[in-house]
Amino acid sequence: MTFDSVGRNDSKESNFDEDLIMNTKIFVFIFLINECGTIKPNVTIAAIFDLPYYDHFSRIFYKYISENVTNDVSLQGIAIDSRDNIDGTIRGICSLFEQHNIVAFIVIGSTETIHSVSLVTTPLNIPVLGYNTDKNVFMPKVSKTRYSIS
């Protein structure tokens, strides 16, 4: 895998799992630099996945957490499924706060799931990295003009 000057995957074939892991590493690294200081903190990152993606991405998430053990930070991870409704997702998130010191969330799921997590985390100033899996979400397209550089 090769990267351009900004750190993006420059190869023609892009693997979603590799891209997700790379973006997660960057997200965690930047967060830990900004938040941790000199004391060895006990940090928990929570991941919420919609049911169709839970088995696959929870394994990737736990593998990442176990491979990135450091002496400077006690990094822990907890993954839950979104329970396919807003009420269940919010209750699941709140139960995580009762048991863990959560400093960030990673969400892979529908717009509804991402908004449910943001509803709880925004007032608490907890960052959320979300990947929207909805196929009908409007994504603006950039059209080529005759002035564009190819």
User: pLDDT tens digit string along 77-132?
Assistant: 888 888 777 888 888 888 888 888 888 999 998 888 888 899 889 998 999 988 88
pTM above 0.75, yes or no: no
User: Looking at the domain assignment, is residue 9 inside a domain?
Assistant: no
Q: What is the number of domains present in the chain?
A: 1
User: Looking at the domain assignment, is residue 57 inside a domain?
Assistant: yes
CATH of residue 39's domain is 3.40.50.2300
d(Cα 150, Cα 141) in Å, to the nearest integer?
Answer: 16
User: Looking at the domain assignment, is residue 123 inside a domain?
Assistant: yes
d(Cα 3, Cα 11) in Å, to the nearest integer?
Answer: 7
Give how far Cα 73 sits from Cα of 3, 6, 68, 87, 102, Å.
28, 27, 10, 33, 14
pLDDT at 2: 47
Q: Which domain holds residue 123?
A: 16-132
